[in-house]
Chains A and B, each alone.
Chain A
Amino acid sequence: MSDDFHGNSRAVLNSRRTMRGRILTLAVTVTLAAANIVAAQADHTSTIRFEDITAKSGVNFLENSSPTPNKNQPETMISGIALLDYDNDGYLDIFFLNGAAIPSLTKDSPKYYNRLYHNNHDETFTDVTEKAGLAGDGYDMGVAVGDFDNDGWPDIFIASVTKNHLYHNNHDGTFTDVTDKAGVGSPMYKGKKMWSAAAGWFDYNNDGRLDLFVANYCVWEVNKDPVCLSGGRLRSYCHPKFYAPLPSTLYRNNGDGTFTDVSDETGISKKLGKGMGIGFNDYDGDGFLDIFVANDNMPNALFHNLKGKAFEEVAMDVGVAYTENGKAVSGMGAEFRDLDNDGFPDIWHTATELETFPLFRNRGDGIFLDVTGRSGLARPTLEMSGWSNGVADFDNDGLKDLFVARGNVLDNISEFSNRTYAEPNSIFRNLGKMKFADVTAQAGPAMQVPEPYRGAVIGDLFNDGHMDIVVTVLNGKARILRNVTSNDNNWVIFRLVGTKSNRMAIGAQLRVTTEDGNSQYDVVSTSAGFGASRDPRAHFGLGKSKTVKQLEIRWPSGVRQVLKDLPANQIHQIVEP
């Protein structure tokens, strides 16, 4: 690997690019938390393990989709979970989305409330929903956390079947619904508010303000779904092909608490799809974040950012629209991060049974290759139905692993098939060189429990350097899966604070080089999986390395910053110079 930020081929790729950034080596870091390693045993045979701590955590969130005999499509797919430090106490809190009554599509009972749980720093959480003012009012799907006004406090956007909502953080544990002022409540298509399934914050024009991307799903009206029979007699949820697609929506942040719908002027609305998972990354290294959207049974979309002015949809051209056999699959959760440490972000998304979960490796020249088969993911995922997913280095060995929340789409599948509605979740350990192994069976009893999982989000809930997972169960109880992987590997977490860039530094590109000379890459992004908003901090496993020899950050503003010899097993706050 060369000294260039993204390696030789990216240097070639970027040769026409104007280098706007400055190289800085200011080691201005603040240590936020000391290591609290669960066990420091030198054990190379240790495996990724999770423990279900839900019972003792105080989290008792029950997702309620209001399943009806009419088999309304939204009933299958509530997913939203966010990990955010809403009170800036240094610990991630948990926010769950919920459904609503059908056919009213309103939260006419507390059983439909969205729920915010405050992290008590001792493995327990407290429900603070009502104080926070986040119970909500409609049928909610996906959540996105971003500090849209750069005040240092995370705000919340909710994508919904009904009206979308933007909640401003009041810095005192409460939120104010600013949807109407912001103008982001009702993305319209042919005169009707679209069903929004997921959303994400990113700064598409690098002006230092977070913009908002919303993935819309399909044209739908309550209790007007077509009648789809399985087994010749059973009414089932219909295949997505029976519903018309919708365009996505892009809102530009005007900087005054309002947003402008720029979907048409940027070209975003030209592409129709059934959007679910959203991933942001800079696949061609031009300094502007691109957007990947996993579409359900339609070709995926990759919106290439034309220097913050417009987008061109290039999924087909770059090879991520279809799987290797030319088929559009049931794209759901999506991740857009570098999985093989070559500096080029790859794409991994989930799908349903018999489709496999496609993995596209970024070749570095603007082309992605479908490597699902050769990565070892095809065989284990062939019979899985995946929803939200996530990427994180669960064993801190320097390689990002994969997690998927699973469950069949059809609640009555077992009445006419050998498949089951409930499925266990799965973890795939990164073996290096883009090879993965299913290690679920060794990951502890909590990982063997089959449920109709939907949501999943990853973050370090306990600031111990181990990335934990929160999952939701459709019409069941959410679970907190604490990462109890035991080994002597080191880690580091960076909390970036933008100054010229957006305050959360969303879009910042990090390159971590360890003592052995190996490098890892990641992007700051809260957008993850399907409808999820993950830990906004960047986490890296360091293996045996006790220091980060060099951290290089390319801030969204273009500023480049280099820090050296940062100690491991700490959370570092880094302010943009």
Chain B
Amino acid sequence: MKVAGDKIVLGPLLAVMFCAISSCGTALDAYPLQIGSDKQLGRNSNHESFEELKARAQAALDADRIPEALRLYERATKLQSGWSEGWWHLGTLLFDAQRFAEARDAFAHFVSAEKKQPGPGFAMLGLSEFQLADYAKALTALETSLKLGVGADPAFVREALLHDGILNAHMGNPELALKRLTLAANQIAAANRDTPKDAVFADLELLDAFGIAALRMPNLPAKLTEEQIPLVRAAGRAQALIALQDRVAAENELKQLAALYASQSGVNYMYGVFLLKEHPALAIDAFRREIEVSPSDAAPRIQVALEFLRTGDYQEGLNYAKEAVELAPNNFVAHVAYGRLCAETGKIDRALQELQTAVKLAPGSPDARFALSRALWKAGRKSEAEREQAEFERLKALVDAADR
């Protein structure tokens, strides 16, 4: 499957996958297909014609008579709008025919009708929205699919994770993108136990997505220019090695990358993030180099501030955090870092101000709530601290559940 305008063929795979997740042979035969007004249709005069249509549609599909199958599934789903299997087949046939708007509508029907396993339908809905360039909706649908489960077919799971990763990077959430892409890479590795790295490196789409996310480029793989591809792909290889936890090989790749592309935005940041886990003392130098290359970027300043916070060098971290807040006033992490550093250096009023801003910007962030609750404890504001603490615990439970 190719993204963004290239030919996509998912039909056979998805038909098999849907049967796998829904136990076609048994559960679907007994599936209570009729909902709403369709009940009357199903039980009365149209019952025969629906069954007939269903059988004919399946036969056409089995015989690879795609246009006929499409027409029959369209008719059958009109008769019984609660027939999820029909919407699935119709959606996948439309998707393969690159009729993405119609495919989107079919999958929207599917996720409404399917009560047992709607996750794959949300994934297809997201992939359809992706093709229609409605990226926000695509991401929402794909995130929903990952929460609900997209089944066990490796190729399909890879599609969902890859596109979720691409979209998260495009929408300015590269950290989440890297999480999704890491899952995709590990799944490929697990399916290729003898040559895991080769299998991952052979997936150029995945490498490009990795590279874009790691370099924090607000771009789509299909929009990369010829000049950008060598850098992105090299970064992607390094990030894939990190995903596979081969950090020795990753470090070699990153060293080469940093040497070749030292003046390119994002490269030193990526190296710095890696060093945070391997050689934290060196990470700050990498982030400082990134600040030189990308002076208006708040992210490396936030990283430096957080690292100084971690090592207890609070005074050294303050300026970086302050600059980050100035550069990115809507970045809640910058406010958390600045607020925590203020609290550690005795500027408790300013700390509370920053942390309250962070909570306003990201009310669903357990980190922001926790930092605010600790600062409130320090300030002796017990009842407010307890309130924030309770909210932290509630949000943390949600995040933990999602992680599981």
A interface with B by C-beta (< 8 Å): 229-233, 241, 316-317, 319, 322, 324-326, 354, 356, 367, 369-370, 372-379, 382-383, 416-419
Contacts and interface: CB of A to CB of B under 8 A. Distances in A.
Contacts of B396: 326
A373 B314 contact: yes
B247 A418 contact: yes
Nearest to A414: B248
B367 A326 contact: yes
B255 to A, nearest CB: 12
Nearest to A318: B377
A418 B378 contact: no
B378 A369 contact: yes
Interface string B307-329: 00111111000000000000000
Contacts of A231: 244-246
A377 B276 CA distance: 17
Interface in B366-402: 366-367, 370-371, 374, 377-378, 386, 389, 392-393, 396
B248 A232 contact: no
Contacts of B366: 326
B312 A374 contact: yes
B245 A232 contact: yes
Interface stretch (B41-49, B115-123, B173-181, B188-196): B188-196
B314 to A, nearest CB: 7
A367 B374 CA distance: 10
Contacts of B248: 416-418
A373 B246 contact: no
B344 interface: yes
B389 A382 contact: no
Contacts of B244: 231-232
Interface in B242-283: 244-248, 251, 276-280
Contact of A382 (B185, B251, B310): B310
The 4 lowest CB-CB distance pairs between A and B, nearest first, are A373-B312, A326-B370, A232-B244, A232-B196
A341 B396 CA distance: 35
A378 B189 contact: no
A302 to B, nearest CB: 14
B310 A232 contact: no
A576 to B, nearest CB: 38
B197 A417 contact: no
B311 A378 contact: yes
Nearest to A236: B245
Contacts of A354: 276-277, 280
In this complex, the member of A232, A325, A418, A419 whose beta carbon has the largest number of chain B beta carbons within 10 angstroms is A232
Contact of B374 (A230, A232, A319): A319
In this complex, the member of A324, A354, A378, A419 whose beta carbon has the largest number of chain B beta carbons within 10 angstroms is A324
A48 B396 CA distance: 43
Given A229-B189, A369-B378, A417-B278, A322 B344 contact: no
Given A326-B367, A326-B370, A229 B310 contact: no
Contact of A418 (B190, B251, B276, B367): B251
A379 B278 CA distance: 14
B344 A373 contact: yes
Contact of B377 (A241, A319, A372, A419): A319
Contacts, number: 88
15 contacts: A232-B200, A241-B404, A325-B309, A325-B340, A326-B370, A326-B371, A326-B392, A354-B277, A373-B309, A373-B312, A379-B311, A379-B312, A417-B245, A418-B251, A418-B278
A356 B310 contact: yes
A413 to B, nearest CB: 10
Interface of B: 185-186, 189-190, 193, 196-197, 200, 244-248, 251, 276-280, 309-314, 340, 344, 366-367, 370-371, 374, 377-378, 386, 389, 392-393, 396, 403-404
Contacts of B374: 319, 324, 370
Contacts of B280: 354, 382-383
Contacts of B403: 241
Contacts of B392: 326
A233 B189 contact: yes
A378 B371 CA distance: 18
A202 to B, nearest CB: 28
B343 to A, nearest CB: 9
Chain A facing B: main interface SS: loop
B311 A324 contact: no
A408 to B, nearest CB: 13
Chain B facing A: main interface SS: helix
Nearest to A233: B196
Nearest to B278: A418
A565 to B, nearest CB: 41
A232 B344 contact: no
Nearest to B251: A418
Contact of A230 (B245, B314, B340, B404): B245
A232 B247 contact: no
Contact of B312 (A232, A367, A378, A418): A378
A374 B341 CA distance: 12
Contacts of B312: 372-379
Given A319-B377, A324-B374, A326-B366, 18 more contacts: A229-B245, A232-B197, A232-B246, A233-B193, A317-B386, A319-B374, A325-B367, A325-B370, A326-B370, A354-B280, A356-B310, A373-B309, A373-B344, A378-B310, A378-B312, A382-B280, A417-B248, A419-B278
Contacts of A233: 189, 193, 196
Contacts of B276: 354
A374 B186 CA distance: 39
In this complex, the member of B197, B377, B389 whose beta carbon has the largest number of chain A beta carbons within 10 angstroms is B377
A355 B313 CA distance: 16
In this complex, the member of A376, A377, A378 whose beta carbon has the largest number of chain B beta carbons within 10 angstroms is A378
Contacts of A374: 312, 314, 344
Contacts of A367: 377
A533 to B, nearest CB: 32
A232 B393 CA distance: 34
A312 to B, nearest CB: 15
A416 B311 contact: no
B387 to A, nearest CB: 13
A304 B279 CA distance: 39
B398 to A, nearest CB: 14
Contacts of A316: 389, 393
A241 B386 CA distance: 27
Contacts of B196: 232-233
A353 B38 CA distance: 60
A299 to B, nearest CB: 9
Nearest to A376: B312
B312 to A, nearest CB: 3
B198 to A, nearest CB: 10
A144 to B, nearest CB: 31
A280 B200 CA distance: 50
A244 to B, nearest CB: 11
A325 B247 CA distance: 25
A314 to B, nearest CB: 12
Nearest to A231: B246
A67 B153 CA distance: 34
Given A232-B196, A354-B280, A373 B310 contact: yes
Contacts of A369: 378
Contacts of A376: 312
Contacts of B310: 325, 356, 373, 378, 382
A339 to B, nearest CB: 16
Nearest to B308: A373
B199 to A, nearest CB: 9
Contacts of B404: 241
A146 to B, nearest CB: 35
A373 B309 CA distance: 7
A110 to B, nearest CB: 38
Contacts of B193: 233
A494 to B, nearest CB: 35
Contacts of B279: 418
Contacts of A229: 186, 189-190, 245
